[in-house]
Amino acid sequence: MLFWFIGLSIITVWAVFQSPGVDYRMVALGAVLPLIEVVFDRIVILHTLLGAILALTIVMLSTVRKRLVRRRWLGLPIGLLLHLVLDGTFSDANLFWWPFLGPDLEGAGPPELDRGWGPLLGMEVIGLAALWWFAARFELLTAPNRAGSLRTGQLPRETVGDRPEPTC
C-alpha cells in the first residue's frame, strides 16, 4: 500500500504545481500517514477530511511569516488530501465527512482493508511504475541527484525544464 500512495501523490503534485521547490518527502509522508490507522484497524481522524483540514490549519498558523518553512510543511496536508483521493475515502460519506454526518466512527475500518490482495498488488505495481517514471524523469537514478533530493526533498532544478519524456 505504500508505493501506490507515494508514487501517485508525488506525480500528482508535480503535475499540478510543476515546482522543484516542493518538498516531495513531506508529500510522501502525508500520503502514507493515514496508514498508521490501518495498523490498528481503526479509524481515528487521518482518513477524514477534517484530519487533513486540521493539518493544513496547523501548518498555516504555525508558519506565519516563515515562508520557506511553510513551503516545506505544506506538503504534509497536501499528501493527506491525496491519500483520501487515492484511497477512495470520499465514497464513504460518513467517513469522509466525519463528524458532520454523525459522530460515530465505531466499527469503521480503513478503506485499504476492504480490498482483496489482487487489487492491492496491482495498485502497488502501478505505484512502483510511477516511482520509476518519476526517478527517471528527474534523473534521480544518478547518485548526486538522488542524494540531493533525499537531503532537501526537492527536485534537481536542472532536470525540471522542458525535457523529452524518458524511455524506461
Q: What is the DSSP letter of 43?
A: -
Is residue 167 domain-resident? no
Cα–Cα dist 122/130, whole Å: 12
The domain in which residue 150 lies consists of 2-156
Residue with cell 459522530: 103
What is the SS3 assignment for 102? Answer: coil
pTM: 0.86
Q: How confident is the model at residue 92 (pLDDT cuts 50, 70, 90)?
A: confident
Whether the per-residue pLDDT at 103 is higher than 80: the answer is no
- Nearest by Cα to 46 from 3, 1, 8, 98: 98
Is residue 163 domain-resident? no
Is residue 25 domain-resident? yes
Residue with cell 525540471: 160
Is residue 161 domain-resident? no
Cα–Cα dist 69/75, whole Å: 11
Task: State pLDDT tens for residues 133-158.
Answer: 999 999 899 999 889 889 998 888 88
Are the beta carbons of 160 and 35 closer than 8 angstroms? Answer: no
Is residue 136 domain-resident? yes
The pLDDT, as a whole number, for residue 167 is: 58
Task: State pLDDT tens for residues 16-53.
Answer: 998 888 999 999 999 999 999 888 877 778 989 999 99
Is residue 164 domain-resident? no
How many domains, in total, are found in the chain? 1
Is residue 130 domain-resident? yes
What is the SS3 assignment for 29? Answer: helix
Is residue 165 domain-resident? no
Concatenating the DSSP letter of every residue in 69-128 gives HHHHHTHHHHHHHHHHHHHTGGGSHHHHTTTTT-S--TT---GGGGS-HHHHHHHHHHHH
